[in-house]
């Protein structure tokens, strides 16, 4: 709701409140769905589904009990999943704000951020764009996608160190990128794959708590923790 006036934001919040699920509705539907899908789908001991945030609080500590050290991650996730933390909105706001305005020139490398050399893109990558051309929004997006695609492929191929180099490159070139959320999720997973869980926790905490990216990144990291 970043770009709306205070009055507009108030109205949007009214819309959110008006159409929230009710506790009675949750209980009613959980029971009805259990009858349709069976206990295996929705075990009776899970009770009525609580609100999303409450469910997150219940799930992640449970996962954290699986392996040593996971408590650290669970704590970060617990904080990230609390309602009203406002973690997601600033991120969304930032990403949208970039696209909603004029093209953003490529920023110079930040002094505080590591500047790693870019890895060689596989042949399937979109061609690297010259720095001057990324002033156009569509070229900028393509450049962002190219780097993140390379990082994703490295992650899937079990090369997290290489993925991290690409992600460093992304952060250096696009500190306010349109795909910053995807960048953060991929970075968290690369760090987990490298066993750098403390750093991964910090990245996970930056993700919008209920986004699919955050959920999946957490699951990826939990799997890595369990496999340690």
* Closer to another protein by Cβ: residue 7 or 111: 7
Kindly report the backbone phi and psi dihedral angles of residue 121, in degrees, each rounded to the nearest multiple of 5, phi listed first.
-75, 140
Least distance from C-beta 202 to another protein, angstroms?
A: 20
Least distance from C-beta 149 to another protein, angstroms?
A: 5
Count residues binding another protein (CB under 8 A): 74
How far, rounded to the nearest angstrom, does the alpha carbon of residue 105 sit from its chain's CA centroid?
24
Of 201, 190, 120, 181, nearest to 155 by C-alpha is 190
Least distance from C-beta 172 to another protein, angstroms?
A: 18
Q: Give the range of 70-78, 167-175, 194-202, 213-221 binding another protein by CB under 8 A.
A: 213-221
Give me the 175-204 binding string for another protein, x by CB under 8 A, dash otherwise: ---xx-xx--x---x---------------
Q: From CA 33, how far away is CA 20, in angstroms rounded?
A: 19
Q: ∠ CA 110-218-195 to the nearest 5 degrees?
A: 65
Span 19-78, contacts to another protein by CB under 8 A = 19-21, 25-26, 28-30, 32-33, 36-37, 41-43, 46, 49-52, 55-56, 58-59
Span 145-174, contacts to another protein by CB under 8 A = 145-146, 148-149, 152, 155-156
HEC string of 151-218 equals HHHHHHCCCHHHHHHHHHHHHHHCCCCCCHHHHHHHHHHHHHHCCCHHHHHHHHHHCCCCCHHHHHHH
Span 107-136, contacts to another protein by CB under 8 A = 126
């Amino acid at each position: 709701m970043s770009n709306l006036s205070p009055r507009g934001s108030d109205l949007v919040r009214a819309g959110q409140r008006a159409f929230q699920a009710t506790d009675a509705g949750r209980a009613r539907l959980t029971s009805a769905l259990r009858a349709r899908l069976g206990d295996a789908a929705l075990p009776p001991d899970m009770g009525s589904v609580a609100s999303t945030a409450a469910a997150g609080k219940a799930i992640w500590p449970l996962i954290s009990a699986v392996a040593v050290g996971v408590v650290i991650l669970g704590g970060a996730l617990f904080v990230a999943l609390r309602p009203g933390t406002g973690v997601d909105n600033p991120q969304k706001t930032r990403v949208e704000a970039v696209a909603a305005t004029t093209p953003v020139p490529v920023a110079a490398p930040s002094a505080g951020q590591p500047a790693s050399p870019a890895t060689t893109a596989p042949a399937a990558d979109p061609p690297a764009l010259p720095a001057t051309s990324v002033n156009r929004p569509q070229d900028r997006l393509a450049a962002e996608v190219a780097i993140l695609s390379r990082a994703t492929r490295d992650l899937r191929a079990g090369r997290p160190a290489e993925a991290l180099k690409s992600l460093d490159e992304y952060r250096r070139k696009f500190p306010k990128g349109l795909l910053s959320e995807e960048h953060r999720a991929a970075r968290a997973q690369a760090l987990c794959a490298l066993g750098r869980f403390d750093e991964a926790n910090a990245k996970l905490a930056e993700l919008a708590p209920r986004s699919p990216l955050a959920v999946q990144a957490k699951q990826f990291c939990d799997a890595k923790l369990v496999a340690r």
